[in-house]
Structure 1
Amino acid sequence: MKKFLITIILLTFQNVFSQSNTTEIEVLKSDKTTEINKNIYGHFAEHLGRCIYDGIYVGDKSPIANTNGVRNDIIKALQELKVPNLRWPGGCFADTYHWKDGIGAKNERPSIVNRWWGGTTENNSFGTHEFLDLCEILGTEPYLAGNVGSGTPRELDEWVQYVNYKPGSPMADLRVKNGRKSPWNVSIWGVGNEMWGCGGNMTAEYYVNLYKQYATFMPSGDSKLFRIASGANGDDYHWTEVLMRDIPKSLIEGVAMHWYTVIDWAKKGHSTNFDESVYFESMKQALRMEELVTKHSEIMDKYDPEKKVALIVDEWGGWYEPDDTAKWGVLYQQNTIRDAMIAGVTLNIFNNHADRVRGANLAQVVNVLQSVILTDKEKMLLTPTYYVMKMYNVHQGAQLIPLKIESPKYVLDNNELPAVSVSASKDKNNLVHISLVNIDSQKQNKVKINVQQLGLKNISGQILTSPKITDYNSFENSDKIKPAVFKSFTIKNNQLEITLPPHSVVVLEGK
């Protein structure tokens, strides 16, 4: 018996020590170049809770400093984030929104009941002009989600004319009457949202015919339209199959897909009060994005081997039980180090699939779900997710560097996940950026990269982390989590070695 126990102990130690905690990364050679589309770093602003009203928009009579009713501090923060595109007005709200209610004199605009989110009444003071003018200030491309669920082809047709046509046509002249002479030239359009659910509870077969009808009657004017079909809910691969099979490629530029990091839709868990087992499950759900993107891409490849149609993940992020709704609004939640991990690994997945994923929208920008900004009256704070998006914006428009990654495991209760996530790119100035995430909440992990192909010599870095996975920025301590200088790396004989602390996001820059 004693000999048996000794054998078991020796085998156990052998197994432990055979599991390397070093991530081996190989820079792959490739005959093709893939650009990481900047629109992967898009955001989403829906008429939901306190995202628009009392978030982005406080009105031009507010004591809070604003430009045409939009908070100046939010404008500044989003400009620094380099937001490439902003999706509006939904979400579920899009398929109940009638754009003509939101133009003209504000005191003459009809009110609307937001039937999806809290049953609140909105006065339509934030409409097409306010949104598109905000996008101009931010230098971001607008992504308008059209109403298919309760709208008509004519309504969407006239909205396109209103924002894109030159004066001389009826809708353009109406725009001029409302104070805007030149068109905004909006190219990105969603043709409905979540048609399998709040957009109308349709089958793919039914929606695909509606899509073709709406897309056919969307006029281009002087702007080439990028039309995005309402896509699959997570792993509904049949939905993607039907869209790719039945929609002529002349009528479609993008197919959407939605995936939220949710542990259990019946019991989502708290945004800040969670243990490591809940954290582990959140990481598991976030990492499923790799499987989803891969399988949807395989279906798209079958019908579109030239990859002309983009996969657009226009809703993603962490979703938990809302904090005090009466005080903070519908779907308001805090944002912890867990959310920074979700953002980091998800963006790495999108970067590494940039040949097909050419757009994505984090849900949502202010005060809703995995926000980058939270507000409380005149106060505003930037979340850990904000800082990850800002650290990663160096990848926008850069050339993907393909990598082969052998990651150690993050193990909890006999379950395991790859601990380290990585993506890399080279920008137009020949600066190389490597973004790394260690999701392991207990252990540091080492990373080794042979950078001979990249010719790296001078390297600097930033890190985002905090002592606990439940740490967050509060209105009382808004700078608790923010990027710091990272120096835990060495480079010798073209071998770059990096030490990643537990639950950390690191971005290195080299030239």
Structure 2
Amino acid sequence: MKKILLILFIFTFCTQVIVAQKETTVLTLKNSNDGPTISKHIYGHFAEHLGKCIYGGFFVGEKSSIPNTKGVRNDIITALKELKIPNLRWPGGCFADTYHWKDGIGPKEDRPSIVNRWWGGTTEDNSFGTHDFLNLCEVLGTEPYLASNVGSGTVQELEQWVQYVNHDSGSPMSELRKKNDREKPWGVTFWGVGNEMWGCGGNMTPEYYANLYKQYATFMTDWSNNDKLFRIASGANVADYHWTEVLMRDIPKSLIEGVALHSYSFVKWEKKGSSTKFNEEQYFATMQTALKMEELVTKHSDIMDKYDPENKVALIVDEWGGWYDVEEGTNPGFLYQQNTMRDAMIAGTTLNIFNNHSKRVKMANLAQTVNVLQAVILTENEKMLLTPTYHVMKMYTVHHDAQLLPMTINSPSYTHNGEKLPALSASASKDKNGLIHISLVNIDSKKDHKIEIDMQELGIKNVTGTILASPKLQDHNTFDNPSKIKPAVFKGFETKKGKLEITIPAFTVVVLETK
């Protein structure tokens, strides 16, 4: 009897050990010097003339009682400086292809009004134009990314815009700029040649647009291309791989520096559901589309590799983020939505994907900065709050221009109704000071997960961490409680026999710093 009990005890013990081993995910990370640089421009933002992003968001006017600098809210300026945003895309979006830049220069009282036919049919007075935007970028210390009008504009209009903002003197447009009280040019590098040409930009075929793009791109610079512009072609809608194929095949590499890609995360187009009152099924479906970014980036990159093996043309994901039904009682055309821990999951996993594909992905733009879609900032009159997405992007600033470290991770599954998704997402980098940072996301709505990292391989001893967490997936910051969700010190790890053992709670984002 004692032998039987002993055997049962040994069997039970061994089974528990095996189960425990299976429950721990091993993350293998190599301290290599061969990885690509994670461009800081992957962490870019997007400000379209849409809803209350510009007017009532960024821009309140110089006469506003809200503290401002030349009409732009000071609290937003401070928040974006702290976020270290590397670039800002403007004025659209769909809005760009009905925007004529000359309407937005000169004395504000002389500027014509425009009807924003894309977003709510509102009338805008053009009080926020080229000077206002580019001066804001200077204040923020960020690179402007101008989206040009190809849909309803002309080659001449774009060529003159380039002259206006980039030529020092001697051209009609540079003299016009000086007349409008700006002596020195801004020197804008990033230019989008149209937006969503397959849709709101003109419902074009890729073959037609490729020819049109070549015409516009040719006249943007001089014959020797000394302006060194970074020209970005309007790229594919999600999985339209044919679009990417045609652009890469038909456009000479001397005329193109980047190809765009747009992809949003949602339940389904016809009924996206509430941004805060969602259930497990809706959360799972949203994360399915968010994680689809891995496949999209991989397949579009494979096509680009075929035509550009030297990796000269960048993949630019200049619209991404969560998209839900607007908040009750708000204008449907304004795309105003709240921002929960679900959005933190989207942000963390998507940025990890971009980091891990940083050899080809050189820029991305979250849609959008203030009051629209997956915004990092929300405003209500004089009040302002920072969203969970803001906090994730700030936690991830440690990856800006750092070197990607190769890793392998066999993630456990997050399961719902018989379907599976990888529960864990990760990326890692080494900065110029030799500090290693590891960003981890657990999208599982119910389970904590354990991760083990070999410390000896990394040659590190000290570890600190930051976590973004909240009791419920639906939790969000409000104007009455703007700090409900904010980063905190993370202590859910310990070192055992040269290995770092981490317990990452359900639906959280964690960033570790190792020395």
TM-score by length of 2: 0.95
Mapped pair 1:154 → 2:146:
no
Out of 58, 82, 85, the residue aligned to residue 84 of structure 2 is 82
User: Quick one: which amino acid aligns to residue 434 of structure 1?
Assistant: I
Structure-1 residue corresponding to 2:9: none
Which of residues 497, 501, 511 in structure 1 aligns to 2:505? 501
In 1, distance between residues paired with 2:23 and 2:95?
46
Match of 2:328 in 1: 324
Single out whichever of 371-380 and 443-452 deviates more from structure 2: 443-452
Q: What is the aligned partner in structure 2 of residue 356 from structure 1?
A: 360
Whether the aligned pair in 2 keeps the contact of 1:50 and 1:328 (CA below 8 Å) is no
What's the CA shift string for 1:172-206, capped at 9, x where partnerless? Answer: 01000001000100000000000000000000011
Q: What is the CA deviation profile of residues 289-347 of structure 1, one whole-angstrom value per residue up to 9, with x for unaligned ones?
A: 00000000000000001111000000000000011354797100000000000000000
- Which residue in 1 is equivalent to 2:65? 63
* Amino acid corresponding to residue 54 of structure 2 in structure 1: I
Residue in structure 1 matched with residue 250 of structure 2 by the alignment: 246
Change (3 A) 1:328 1:63: farther
Q: Paired residue for 1:476, among 480, 492, 509?
A: 480
In structure 1, distance between residues paired with 2:363 and 2:498: 34
Q: What is aligned with 2:5?
A: none
* Counterpart in the other structure of 2:217: 215
Q: 1:57 to 1:22 in 2, by over 3 A?
A: same
Q: 2:116, 2:331 → 1: CA distance? A: 18
Shift of 1:32: 2.8
Tell me the percent identity.
70
C-alpha separation in 2, matches of 1:327 and 1:95: 22
Asked whether the equivalents of residues 234 and 292 of structure 1 are also in contact (C-alpha less than 8 Å), the reply is yes
- 1:257 aligns with 261
Aligned to 1:298: 302
Could you tell me how far 1:24 is from its partner in structure 2? 1.4
* Pair 1:232-2:254 in alignment: no
Distance in 1 (alpha carbons) for counterparts of 2:333 and 2:307: 43
CA distance in structure 2 between the aligned counterparts of 1:325 and 1:36, rounded to whole angstroms: 41
* Alpha-carbon distance, 1:458 to partner: 1.3
Counterpart contact for 1:161–1:219, Cα < 8 Å: no
Asked if structure 2 preserves the Cα contact closer than 8 Å seen for 1:164 and 1:222, the reply is: no
Of 394, 399, 402, the match for 2:398: 394
State how far apart, in whole Å, the 1-side matches of 2:21 and 2:276 are. 32
Contact 1:473 1:481 in 2 (8 A): yes
Task: State the partner residue of 2:202.
Answer: 200
Which deviations, in whole Å up to 9, do the C-alpha atoms of 1:227-280 show, x marking residues without a partner? 000000000000000000000000000000000002110001100001111111
2:146 aligns with 144
Contact 2:35/2:406 (8 A) holds in 1: no
Give the alignment partner of residue 46 of structure 2, picking from 25, 37, 44: 44
| Residue among 343, 347, 350 paired with 2:347 | 343
- Which residue does the alignment assign to 1:8? none
**By how many angstroms is 1:28 displaced?**
4.0
Q: Structure 2 CA distance, aligned partners of 1:449 and 1:326?
A: 47
- Identify the residue that residue 110 of structure 2 maps to in structure 1: 108
Matches of 1:441 and 1:226, distance apart in 2: 41
- TM-score (norm: length of structure 1): 0.95
- Residue 362 of structure 1 aligns to a residue whose secondary structure is strand
Equivalent residue, structure 2, for 1:280:
284
Question: Does the residue aligned with 1:452 lie in a helix, a strand or coil?
Answer: helix
**Displacement, 1:490?**
1.2
2:129 is aligned with 1:127: yes
Distance in 2 between the 1:243 and 1:331 partners?
A: 31
487-496 vs 85-94, greater mean Cα deviation = 487-496
Output the amino acid matched with 1:392: Y
Q: Could you say what secondary structure the match of 2:242 adopts?
A: helix
Q: In the alignment, what sits opposite 1:467? A: 471
Partner in structure 2 of residue 185 of structure 1: 187
Q: Give the alignment partner of residue 380 of structure 1, picking from 384, 400, 423.
A: 384
Deviation of residue 33 (structure 1)? 2.9
SS of residue in 1 equivalent to 2:80: helix
Q: Which ranges of structure 1 fall in alignment gaps of 5 or more residues?
A: 1-12
Aligned Cα root-mean-square deviation (Å): 1.7
Q: Distance between the aligned counterparts of 1:438 and 1:226, measured in 2?
A: 36
Contact 2:30 2:457 in 1 (8 A): no
Q: What is the CA-CA distance between 1:169 and the residue it aligns to?
A: 1.3
| Structure 1, 325-334 or 443-452: larger mean CA deviation | 325-334
Deviation at 1:168, TM superposition (A): 1.8
Choose the corresponding residue for 2:36, options 13, 19, 34.
34
Is the CA contact (8 Å cut-off) linking 1:486 and 1:506 kept in structure 2? yes
In structure 2, the residue corresponding to 1:217 is in which secondary structure? helix
User: Quick check: 1:186–1:223 contact (8 Å CA) kept in 2?
Assistant: no
Measure how far apart 1:464 and its partner are: 0.2
Could you tell me which amino acid in structure 2 is paired with residue 493 of structure 1?
A: K
The Cα offsets for residues 453-491 of structure 1, whole Å up to 9 and x where unpaired, read as 321211111000100000000011100000000011112
Which position in structure 2 is the counterpart of 1:176? Answer: 178
CA distance in 2, matches of 1:19, 1:241: 45
327-336 or 45-54, which moves further after superposition?
Answer: 327-336
AA in 2 matched with 1:370: Q
Instruction: Please point out which of 419, 424, 427 is paired with 2:428.
Output: 424
Cα separation, 2, equivalents of 1:414 and 1:336: 25
1:315 corresponds to which residue? 319
**Counterpart of 1:471 in structure 2: which amino acid?**
D
CA 1:222–1:102 in 2, change beyond 3 Å: closer, same or farther? farther
Q: How has the CA–CA distance of structure 1 residues 139 and 242 changed in structure 2, closer, same or farther, with 3 Å as cutoff?
A: same
